[in-house]
Structure 1
Amino acid sequence: MPDATGPGPAGYAYPEPRYAEPRFTGEPRDRSWPPAQRVAPARVEPPPQPVDDDSEESVLASTGSMAIATLISRITGFFRILLMAAVLGGGLASAFNVANTLPNMISELVLGSVLSAIVVPVLVRAEREDDDGGTAFVRRLLTVSITILGLATLASVAGAPLLTRLMLGDGKVNESLSTAFAYFLLPQILFYGLAALFTAILNTRSVFKPGAWAPVTNNIVAIAVLVLYFVMPGEISLDPVQMGSPKLIVLGVGTTLGVVTQALVLVPALRRQQISLRPLWGIDARLKRFGGMGLAIVLYVLISQVGLVVTTNVASQADASSPAIYSFVWMLLQVPYGVLGVTLLTAIMPKLSRDAAADDTPAVVDGLTSATKLTMVALVPIIVFMTLAGPTIGEALFAYGNFGADDAHRLGLTLSWSAFTLIPYAFVLLHLRVFYAREQAWTPTFIIIGITAVKIVLSLLAPMLVPANQVVVALGTANGLGFVAGALVGGMLLKRSLGDLHLANVGRTVGIVIGSSLAGGVVMLVLDAVLQLHSLTTSFGGLGAVARVVVDAVLMLGVTFLVLRKFKVPEVVAVTVAVGRLVAKLRGRPAPESAGTEAAGQPAGAPTGRNPVPYAEARRVDTGRFDRPTYPGRGAIVSDSDAAAANPTGAQQASNTRPDPDAPRAPRRHVPDLMVDTGVLPLGAMPPMRASGPGDAPRRPVRGPRLIPGAAVAGGRYRLLAHHGGANGLQFWQAVDTKLDREVALTFVDADQQFTGPDRAEGPQAVLSRTLRLGRINSNGLARVLDVVRGSSGGIVVAEWTPGSSLREVAATSPSPLGSARAVRALAAAAESAHRAGTALSIDHPDRIRISSDGAAVLAFPASLADADQSTDVRGLGATLYALLTDEWPLEDKSAVDGPPVTVGGMKQALLDPKGLPTEPRKVRPEIPFEISAVAMRSIQGDSGIRTAATVQHVLDQASVVDQKTDLMHAATGAPAGGPAPEGPTERTPGDQAKRKRMIISLSVLGVAVLIVLGFVVQQLTGIFGANDSSPLPDQNIGLTTSPAPTSVAPSPTAPAPPSKVVIPALSASVFSPQGTPDDASGAKLAIDGNPSTTWSTDQYYQPFPALKNGIGLMVTLKQPTKLISVGVESPSPGTRVEIRSAPSADATLDQTQVIGSQVLGNGHTEIPVQSDQTTRYVLVWITALGKADGQNQSKIGDLTFTGAA
């Protein structure tokens, strides 16, 4: 049963509306922007409301709690599905699931869709506009909603037989049982609606935790109910179904109590927010304005429900288990989408909605491109794995209890043939989000028509094209093809609305992901066959299948990840960075700076300083509008506009100017995008309403996105990968250019928006302008400046990424003095070029410096500050050299507060003498040459003879004139000669990298060869020592002899002749059923009439043995007592397990019989050998496991023959 965890069918929270914001039409705006602010009329203060703690710490805590709640909800919901399958079995689970689907469908149709599309935006507006803070609106909304839901519940309960008849038709699912369940489950309609409404109200108050945790309580109650059902004695009566059956009541009432709990746990949170629940009649006039949109939403849901009804009908007509299998597969597909797809797209979805609502077509296209790449990278490997390992996954997860191995195998096949659905499903959700944000409420109706039409046609064709037991597999494929049609229709409508979607830009990434996944799949299949992992399933059943799935997943996903990492797919690099930092945080240690940089080298085709750069310095058109941030809160201000370059003052005005810090501030609300699956195709969050009025709230200052790995900045152009420190109001980040698919270095200027001074020469825009001049410098010691992105206050400097290691990491490895000199020599050359160009580098902090893979010190994060000049650069050169020699930073940290810092950029702050000078490097490391030590010291002093970068470069040239291989820096070649092994990450020369690559390839090939040899050896040993051959070891052919073993051996003259065989006729047969009414009692004689075409059959059971009874059989009386040799069984029911038992009399109990043989029947004749030294006249053919007949648990026996000794 899907969780209804959100305010509507999508479970989304809604972004805070922006009132009185005009739609951008592409026309130039008046340069006097912004217009004069309207003054809101005086309003009566509402009753005291609880103060929301919207601090950044509180927001982060809430977000983390919701992430944990979502994860736990997924885990408990998944366990609930597995438990339901094992306890109920296929047939009973189908009857239960069909009934349990009805309240979800009706609640969404009656209220859920309208709630998400219309009510919530109006609720937010009422809270801000009404004099009572929206109290009356909430009371009216609750009163009307409870009335509508209550009437719908009563009508549904009264019409329960008609509803189940509509869902099942004339199918093979027990309609009476499903109707009985419906009577108990349909009251959930009221509580599903209340839970959604309560969650929506709390979300508008920025209270998210209760709504996120409520579904967990529902799952816990449902799991407890299933456990209670399992341990209770007795069974549900099926013919006829009795409403008073204890197990029926426990399962139906208990499941409904779970939904009741989900709604009631939200009431205390409503009370804490002082939200009145007292009824108040009336309908708010603001709801009537959106009646047309509401009609479109209801029609959308209704069409989707028609498709579900048709699919359920077709599945139920195939066999009793198919509806449950179809439902379980869809829920199983939601696990990877919920954990991976939703998680990765959460950061993109809110901005995509806002850009679509603002008609910012380029930003929407960029967002779709990013979302497409993320979707493919996250889901394609999982899809390939599910497709290849589907049957094994089905057996590993569901082949337990009453579900049965055959149904589990069919479920796995269905999963294989429908796993591809995840990609078009994700695309459809993206398309819906864009259309609803653009207020094109009727456009998604065409998409759902396309999906449903294809789905219905293919579903109706399925029974005509495939056997009955494979219909559910075809239905899963039909569902996926329906979403493919919907994605194509949505893509065409988007292209007509937005123009070229530029999907060719993601072609390289998508190709790499598909190729990597297929490579991983091939490796998995080959090793699975070589190692004969299928024997795990054969030998150990479900647990063996679990082990096989784990091994296959590690093989395939591991190979896929390694290939993606090798090609440096940016999304994979970003995930690696985030996981590395999370692991470091959990271990209680600071995240390493190289978490995402050590392997994140320059992608193929990335430009160097010698190549033209595909960036234009003035490429944007001023629209007078700045992008709304992805998240509210502090962060960098970035924009796609260079208006601030020409008019910094105007740029400041565009952000409404920084407010007075002493003035009262409106509370900030953080509204995350809660994308939680509820089992219904989501509709997407509605856009902010644009109706303006005198009560509109003033616009708040624009805030930039929080700088965290994975966040998109500059209109989605760059995605952040890893943080590399910061200084003096600057923040340094490694990022990926999503358009050119390459890594870049981003320097955020005034990232915290702390600059408030009037001096324009000192301001962030001046820093950007000075830094832009560095783009004309081509030097190995300076990362080339590619672009400058200006925002309302600060901006971003975009530079080439420098692969290698940070200064701190290299200094920690104690590089050789000569290697250090060569490194700083390159940086000195860049500084000299900058000085000749009339600017400076601002070498003032170790976080700015990286050591490239060529061993050169590079200013990796350029930004020319106001106090930077030739002398400060010379001191910075000396400090960089000093840091490499001593692993200490000798300059003060200007950005430090509260006294001298202990560390600067992760490096230890050097101790200074009374003259303000650090300890001479030669005293720290005596092996340092005098010239190199002197250059470092005199450069730091600034007035001791070295005043230019050219002098530093010249002296270091002289000091490092001897070019020996052992003198190279440790960061490039490993540990210095005779030195200890490094502890941190290092860089290698191209020769070392080639050797290492060859070594890895050799070891990989050797490892695969060893695995193949081990598999062959295990196979041979299994053949030798296995139980299949009882011949003595010397007589077995183990492949070492050159002559074939003799095919026969002459019998010994003294050996006794084998006994002669004779068929013993049977006189009579009766049904043996000690635990209930005999099945087909009159047909027992047909099993001994000698005609295989006439059969005796058991009843059809919804649950396999021993759920309802421990077995059933035929007691056969032979013509005479005989010593049986074998029993032949002719049966069209493969999979039936039969025991042959000898009995002392025809009316003996089961305990009085003795097992003398057993075997699983095949299709047709099966000869069961018997081992018995005693003669017997009464033989019990005892069935302990039923076969499958048309999807039912049923077995048939056509003829029995008894062979004995003459």
Structure 2
Amino acid sequence: MRRASARVPTTAGRFVEGRAEATMPSNTGPSIDTITEGGRVPQVGEGQEADENAPPIMTFGAPIAGDILAERYELVEHINNDSAGRLLWRGVDVVLRRPVAVVLRYPGGGSATEMLQAAVAASRVIHPNLVGVYDAIDEGERAYVVREWVDGRSLRELVATEALDPARATAVGNAVASALAAVHATGMVHGNVHPGTIMISDDGRVVLADARTDGADSQASDIRAVGGVLYFALTGHWPHAEVPLHGATAGHGRASTPDAVRGPDGALAAPRQVRAGVPAYLDDLTMDLLDGSLTPPPSDVLAAELARLDIPADEHFLESNGPLRFTAETGDEPSPLAAAGGRKFAVGIASLLAVALVGLLIGISVLSKGGDSERNPATAAAPSANATAGEDPPATAAAEPPKISAAKIIDPDSGDRVEVRDAEKVFDGSVEEGWATQTYRGHPNFGNIKRGMGIWLDLGEPRTVQSLQVQLSARGASAQLYTGTNEHPSSKAGDDALLEEYEKNPIGPPKENADTTMVFDAFDADTEYQYLLFWLTELPPSDGGYKVGVEEITVS
């Protein structure tokens, strides 16, 4: 996904993804059924589904199925209306041939400014747990936002049938906190975290949608909302009776969510009091987040803690009636948040981690510049002025995440090697520029003239790796991640030798027909990696042929 413009006009105008717009006749483009399988899939709108007593929706000049907006977005099916009067449609981008969600508001202009500002702000943050925003358009009589279509259900719909087990609830909380950490790192606030804006896709991906920019919320309220999400996922009840879900009254209408169980004095019952089998530490963490007298930790610290607790259910760390692996017992290592004593947040630990993360971000920014035309090694950071020979490295160095220090394009089947430049742009910290293949004709497998193409990455030294994320310009590509132990010359023969060595060592299964973000997370926790090969095998359709761009690669 490319960034939308930060400019928000109050008169008719358009906010696009930073690219020239192609035009197509209104009768072109595939049906959405050629892209997605199955029937109608519920989608999150920008708020809750409207209840029976919602005010009438203004529909003067409202579109109908088959209409094409901005000569590009074909409307296929009206899904629902939210409580704010916006219309949610399932559609298709007839240029890029991908499904999209279209959220329309009548009228546009000043009444749509907040919606458009929120969309523009959201488009600046790229994260696998955030719904991608593609376009934001104001036509005066109406305005609309075009964003990623997610096949799946909202957390509200999922929990309506049954509360989640502790492992799944922890995974959802981890994904939401990780998304908020990315948002907060930019200085922004999401302001709309609740079970209706959290989607669980059919492939298990958890995504957060529909940020607001009305200034009524803070980063702290975002973090407290994670406590509400955990409570809801574990019990099926919403703990914020004083803050209904986007205007819905508890127990009223289709948008309602059951209020939490409360004692005679109105005190909130803990998840363990509502449902058996909730681990003590997860119960305490949830209640701490909901306790207004406690200062919540930064979102990145909360995400790190929930990631530590996010245990795959198939690893059998869950007893049938007992605690998760992270429940503190005699002799066990305590949680970093629990170690501060009882149900109190480790504010000191959170502050130290936040300072360390700021330092790491500055270091990564310094180290991600420079490079030559083929191997493109990053400029090394100068040693600290007070560092002397024999001194131990700072304690924070051990926590520094792995980073890409060099990259080069691997193209063993090319004779002219015109595509082996610009590798440094895939780890420069920006999605504005990247590396792209040429356009291949006839077949997505590089026109059946190549085995594929790849990007070789050097982490500078052997490091443990948790995941590698690749941001692509379009969905539909297929790729595999490999590793090896040797560096090879940048030449046709060298690339051929490199591929022959590395393809014997795949990291996890290949990603096929993937979305715009590929995440490889099958790394061995006991293995250190220095050299990685991201290998493209199939390209998505583009410009009458097949082509893809790699906008950014990050390692964690």
**Larger fraction in helix:** 1
**Larger fraction in strand:** 2
Alignment TM-score > 0.5, same fold: no
Query: What is the TM-score normalised by the length of structure 2?
Result: 0.44
Which of the pair has more CA radius of gyration?
Answer: 1
